[in-house]
Amino acid sequence: MGEAVLILGATSAIARATAAAFAARGAALYLASRDLDELQRIASDLRIRYGVEVHYAAFDAEATETHAAFFQSVLANMPDLSGVVLAFGYLGDQQAARDFKVGAKVIASNFTGAASILSLCADHFEPLQRGFIIGISSVAGDRGRQSNYVYGAAKGALSLYLQGLRNRLYASGVRVITIKPGFVDTAMTYGLPGLFLVASPQDIGERIVRTLGKQADVVYLPWFWRYIMLIIKHVPEPIFKRMKL
Ligand SMILES: NC(=O)c1ccc[n+]([C@@H]2O[C@H](COP(=O)([O-])OP(=O)(O)OC[C@H]3O[C@@H](n4cnc5c(N)ncnc54)[C@H](OP(=O)(O)O)[C@@H]3O)[C@@H](O)[C@H]2O)c1
């Protein structure tokens, strides 16, 4: 039985690279996001380059009432699903997101929608006693900063959710891996000020797939972000609140 992987948010630059890395090792893929035209292009490209089976379908993280039917149709096409990569995310304008009417979309896209679809994935894999869930969170979720605390709060909640899910699914042998990228050169970060140590999506995608061969539960990508965030997390709050981060 070959590997079969569902990729949620498959039009993302990081997800494309992850899909290509899975396809390169022969995995069948099910790609999902809101942009069907782009999914069709990505699916054709992967089929031609790697000769793998690729399905695709529309998926909207915010439309949680559609998730059960969506996941059933994934399983109808791929009954032997091996695992799921949750890659969707939305940064938006973080200044505008201070207004909850805007911020609610950031929270729904990054956290509520993720909790909805992951609950279905977990319920599927747990009784089978196999499978993996790779969730792409962010270093932004490690500490609240004035420049992006709405996105950071949603990603922090996602990291906690994945941690709890890992704890729940450990006994059943289902792996839950949290990926925390630093800055990556994608549409999400295009033109943002203050970026440094920016990684390529190809590098991140390949490393995401390689985590399956390792023991780690929480993976900072590239690795040095673990130490950058360790320092940032340990700055005392009385000092941190004075910093313009
Ligand atoms: N770039 C970075 O520096 C960075 C750093 C840390 C973490 N991350 C995280 O890495 C992941 C991938 O990011 P990226 O930089 O590759 O992003 P990207 O190129 O901007 O892609 C974002 C993806 O999210 C999908 N998406 C957004 N809202 C959605 C919704 N409501 N329903 C379904 N899909 C939705 C989009 O798909 P459609 O528009 O086709 O629906 C798109 O595929 C995200 O979770 C992001 O938060 C990125």
Whichever domain contains 175, its CATH number is 3.40.50.720
- What range defines the domain where residue 91 resides? 4-240
pLDDT tens figures, 63-113: 999 999 999 999 999 999 999 999 999 999 999 999 999 999 999 999 999
| pLDDT reported for residue 193 | 83
Which atom in ligand 1 lies closest to the alpha carbon of residue 151?
Answer: 47
pLDDT above 90: residue 178? yes
CB of 88 shorter than 6 A to ligand 1: yes
Task: Please check whether residue 220 lies inside any domain of the structure.
Answer: yes
Task: Please check whether residue 245 lies inside any domain of the structure.
Answer: no
pLDDT above 90: residue 46? yes
What residues contact 59, with CB distance under 8 A and at least 6 apart?
8, 32, 33, 34, 66, 70, 117
Is-contact 16 10, C-beta < 8 A? Answer: yes
Q: What residue's CA is closest to ligand 1, atom 22?
A: 12
| pLDDT reported for residue 60 | 98
How far CA 121 is from CA of 16, 27, 47, 59, 175, in Å, comes to 21, 18, 25, 14, 12
Whole-number Å distance, alpha carbon 244 to ligand 1 midpoint, is 26
Is-contact 211 164, C-beta < 8 A? Answer: no
Task: Please check whether residue 50 lies inside any domain of the structure.
Answer: yes
CB of 59 shorter than 6 A to ligand 1: yes
Give the Cβ contact number of residue 91 at 10 Å.
21
- Among 129-138, 163-172, 185-194, the range scoring the smallest mean pLDDT is 185-194
Which atom in ligand 1 lies closest to the alpha carbon of residue 39?
Answer: 40
Task: Please check whether residue 128 lies inside any domain of the structure.
Answer: yes
| pLDDT reported for residue 195 | 86
- Among 48-57, 73-82, 174-183, 187-196, the range scoring the smallest mean pLDDT is 187-196
Total number of domains constituting the chain: 1
- Taking the C-alpha atoms of residue 153 and residue 121, their distance in angstroms, rounded to an integer, is 23
CB of 108 shorter than 6 A to ligand 1: no
pTM summary value: 0.97
Task: Please check whether residue 27 lies inside any domain of the structure.
Answer: yes
Vertex 159, ends 183 and 132: CA angle to 5°? 100
189 against 82, higher pLDDT = 82
Task: Please check whether residue 169 lies inside any domain of the structure.
Answer: yes
Task: Please check whether residue 207 lies inside any domain of the structure.
Answer: yes
- Taking the C-alpha atoms of residue 76 and residue 46, their distance in angstroms, rounded to an integer, is 21
pLDDT above 90: residue 122? yes
CB of 136 shorter than 6 A to ligand 1: yes
pLDDT above 80: residue 1? no
Nearest to 35 by CA among 6, 67, 12: 12
Whole-number Å distance, alpha carbon 174 to ligand 1 midpoint, is 24
In the predicted model, what is the mean pLDDT of residues 122-151? 97
Whole-number Å distance, alpha carbon 94 to ligand 1 midpoint, is 15
Task: Please check whether residue 115 lies inside any domain of the structure.
Answer: yes
Which atom in ligand 1 lies closest to the alpha carbon of residue 34?
Answer: 41
pLDDT tens figures, 206-227: 999 999 999 999 999 999 999 9
Whole-number Å distance, alpha carbon 90 to ligand 1 midpoint, is 6
